[in-house]
Structure 1
Amino acid sequence: MLNPDRRLFLKGTALIGCSAAAHPLMSSMTFAALPGDNRLVVIILRGAMDGLDVIQPYGDPALRQLRRKLATGPDRGALDLDGFYALHPGLAPLMPLWKNGELAFAHAVSTPYRDKRSHFDGQDVLEAGTGNDLPVDRRVGGWLNRLLLATPGATAETAYSVGVEQMKILSGEAAHLSWAPRASLDLSAQAQLLLEHVYQADPLFRDAARDAIQIGAESMDMTRTQGPTADATALGAFTASRLNGESRIAAFSIAGWDTHANQEVVLGRALDRLAAAILALRDGLGANWGRTTVLAMTEFGRTVRENGSGGTDHGTGGALIMAGGAIRGGRAYGEWPGLGEGQLYAGRDLMPTRDIRAYAGWAMQGLFGIERDRLERAVFPGLELGEDPGILA
């Protein structure tokens, strides 16, 4: 575990560099305890996952007309699920879960966020769960935090605090603690010289900077040795260890889903990490996997048409991936809107047919017994849950 000086340095240097909204090193997790044996894991997929590529509706004839270069369908490497949908080969390690009824998905889902297509704003709306565009810190925390406030007997569970990013989904009044795996500080030689110059007059930060750079080098060596999914496996394994104790709710993020260009490669890498995290959860939870629901959610989907760079741009409707022994899996949920002329949102995006918050709400109702009225008023203010989709076994 990092000492406080190194932790302070890493938090400070997190402000240097590219956008945190989709940065692959900005992964943290939060935990909370609830009475009962059921468990909920929420994975935020930062960067806007292309649900049409991950869960390919190859049975819709318009798909290949709109995506001539991006591979779609079983005859192009995807794994058939039900004769209409096919699974991206990057999630092939999860096919045994599908066959065992422990993997499912809902297509054409979204938050109420529309048209602005900002990663930061979209993620804020997703994690706040209130259905408007105000920053999360001006709301009553994130929706998992409001779940804790609405649940008698919820307590904070002891965890480590060495993260470089706060999960806004659990921010708020209810007590919770956080942990994050080793942060990789991979700096160029010029950047290292700059930091040494900046901190030269302060021995505390100078030494902490030197130590942090060394930790970053060691982390990069670990990734090269154990493979690009090592961090995701660590996230899943540590989450399982806490859920086997007092924790009942966990949230963490996996970045790398922004596929404006070279989508085949970029998306494949992200899916490798997601599959590794879910399998590490299953393996680590053991018998408790049967009482666990995993919801993997993204801020918005991507355009139906591919672009000229071998990718897709920011869109609207997307997909929700669900896993766990508590899921009624092996099936698709939701109403498919179609991809034909007149069926797209704004003539460019998959039309959302259900609010993604409704699936989360019904999961919480089934797992923790939260009343529908409380879900619609306190946890997801203003949401109409609608009919129970029956996602829990």
Structure 2
Amino acid sequence: MITRRFLLKSATLAACSAAAHPWLSTMTFASVPGDNRLVVIVLRGAMDGMDAVQPYGDKGLRALRTGLSVGPQGGAHDLDGFFALHQDLGDLLPLWQAGELAFAHAIATPYRDKRSHFDGQDLLEAGTGNDLPIDQQKGGWLNRLLQDMPNARAETAYSVGTEEMLILSGKAHALSWAPDARLSLSPQARLLLTDVYHDDALFREAAADAEAIGGSLPEDRMMGAKGPSADAVKLATFAASRLNGDTRIAAFSLAGWDSHARQQQVIGRSLGQLSAAILTLREALGANWARTTVLAMTEFGRTARENGSAGTDHGTGGAMLMAGGAVRGGTVYGDWPGLAEGQLYQDRDLMPTRDVRAYAGWAMRGLFGTEAGHIEGTIFPGLDLGPDPGILR
């Protein structure tokens, strides 16, 4: 018996899931002068930075997370005696040891308090502040970077997918096509959509058609990759093939980071995909990896306390991953705010101590020589770059 309460709850869950759905994954590319390369990976669904890079040296963490695994005793890999790398990012440890992997912690966009995936992702990709309503945020920050480069060949910028990424939308024209990607749904997701759309003929039929399309794309079309990381490997392989040519900027998204329940399974699977994407980029780029910077960022963090469903809810402060031969790795950047009473944002979230846009801005300045005033005034309007964190070699 489907009740109105169940439908409302299901619709809410569907809205959260949609923001992290693989159908929303797109890719963008651009050619600019020079040999340096920038890859931006948008992690849709709000990655829990305190799980990906665990501050186990802070005594407050265990009090907040009694059920989730914490630190080396929970299987994580120690990094520096204070932070530990989630066990499902363990394949990236050689990059950390080689100085090609770093993190920025306690970071966030200017987005606060409403905690909507869609609004948070729009603000992340727009690169703006809270001075305009979300629906008036026009254009993406990578597009504004291209406009600052007189020799950028914007006509070779592409958006690949069923939906254009805001991050490269704007005056610099972009061509578009749909990818050869797997649009599969888990049995649980199919059941949820069936319940949500049961009384809506239009959406019920559209969802059935989409499921049929997804089922028609076999695994052997995923460039030989198998398992849950197949899509991530394919995206990274294609991005590398372009970056080994004239392309110098690539952006794509990885979905599935929303971990309201069963976080250990959810984030473990997603971290495995992110790890696979980065390792694929490193291998496929070859010598060009030395001039590459990868920035993996998410719309917001998650609550410091775990909830009653072995997960975490939408939060504020989070973490950002940086990788590549151009990165000064082996470091967790940022000012740690602490997790004790009185140190959390609104007594629930990790307190942000720096704007995530500042790290992206300093990456642009180091990679492409972009003027600081242009970064603060046009690319990321309203941003205070602050001191150089020294994330690049």
With normalisation by structure 1, the TM-score equals: 0.86
Is contact 1:56-1:85 (8 Å) kept?
Answer: yes
Query: What's the CA shift string for 1:167-221, capped at 9, x where partnerless?
Result: 1011100133445532334487998xx9xx98xxxxxxx9xx9899466423357
Structure-1 residue corresponding to 2:282: 282
Question: 1:1-393 maps to which residues of 2 (within 5 A)?
Answer: 20-132=18-130, 134=132, 138-156=136-154, 158=156, 163-178=161-176, 181-186=179-184, 213=212, 216-219=215-218, 226-393=226-393
Alpha-carbon shift at residue 40 of structure 1 (Å):
0.5
TM-align CA RMSD: 2.6
Is contact 1:160-1:180 (8 Å) kept?
Answer: no
In 1: Cα distance, 2:239 partner to 2:27 partner: 8
* Alignment-mate amino acid for residue 317 of structure 2: G
* Alignment-mate amino acid for residue 217 of structure 1: S
Is contact 1:181-1:235 (8 Å) kept?
Answer: no
With over 3 angstroms needed to count, the CA separation of the structure-2 counterparts of 1:248 and 1:162, relative to structure 1, is: closer
In 1: Cα distance, 2:46 partner to 2:236 partner: 21
In 2: Cα distance, 1:40 partner to 1:161 partner: 16
* Alignment-mate amino acid for residue 316 of structure 2: T
Is contact 1:141-1:168 (8 Å) kept?
Answer: yes
Q: Identify which range, 139-148 or 289-298, moves more after superposition.
A: 139-148
With over 3 angstroms needed to count, the CA separation of the structure-2 counterparts of 1:261 and 1:153, relative to structure 1, is: same
In 1: Cα distance, 2:60 partner to 2:68 partner: 13
**Secondary structure class of the residue paired with 1:156:** strand
Alpha-carbon shift at residue 75 of structure 1 (Å):
1.3
With over 3 angstroms needed to count, the CA separation of the structure-2 counterparts of 1:149 and 1:162, relative to structure 1, is: closer
Alpha-carbon shift at residue 155 of structure 1 (Å):
1.1
Q: Identify which range, 134-143 or 48-57, moves more after superposition.
A: 134-143
With over 3 angstroms needed to count, the CA separation of the structure-2 counterparts of 1:65 and 1:249, relative to structure 1, is: same
* Alignment-mate amino acid for residue 275 of structure 1: S
* Alignment-mate amino acid for residue 300 of structure 1: F
Is contact 2:303-2:348 (8 Å) kept?
Answer: yes
Is contact 1:128-1:136 (8 Å) kept?
Answer: no
In 2: Cα distance, 1:33 partner to 1:136 partner: 29
* Alignment-mate amino acid for residue 296 of structure 1: A
Alpha-carbon shift at residue 237 of structure 1 (Å):
0.5
Alpha-carbon shift at residue 151 of structure 1 (Å):
1.3
Query: What's the CA shift string for 1:319-377, capped at 9, x where partnerless?
Result: 01000000000111000000001100000100000000000000000000001111111
Query: What's the CA shift string for 1:89-131, capped at 9, x where partnerless?
Result: 1101111110110000010000011100000111111111111
In 1: Cα distance, 2:211 partner to 2:71 partner: 45
**Secondary structure class of the residue paired with 1:281:** helix
Query: What's the CA shift string for 1:307-329, capped at 9, x where partnerless?
Result: 00000000000001000000000
Q: Identify which range, 160-169 or 130-139, moves more after superposition.
A: 130-139
Is contact 1:183-1:216 (8 Å) kept?
Answer: no
In 2: Cα distance, 1:221 partner to 1:33 partner: 31
**Secondary structure class of the residue paired with 1:117:** coil
With over 3 angstroms needed to count, the CA separation of the structure-2 counterparts of 1:214 and 1:116, relative to structure 1, is: closer
In 1: Cα distance, 2:225 partner to 2:33 partner: 40
Unmatched 5+ stretches in structure 1: 1-16, 199-205
* Alignment-mate amino acid for residue 264 of structure 1: Q
* Alignment-mate amino acid for residue 384 of structure 1: D
**Secondary structure class of the residue paired with 2:218:** helix
Task: Give the count of matched residue pairs.
Answer: 364
Unmatched 5+ stretches in structure 2: 1-13
With over 3 angstroms needed to count, the CA separation of the structure-2 counterparts of 1:345 and 1:129, relative to structure 1, is: same
Is contact 2:302-2:312 (8 Å) kept?
Answer: yes
Is contact 2:29-2:158 (8 Å) kept?
Answer: no
Q: Percent identity?
A: 67
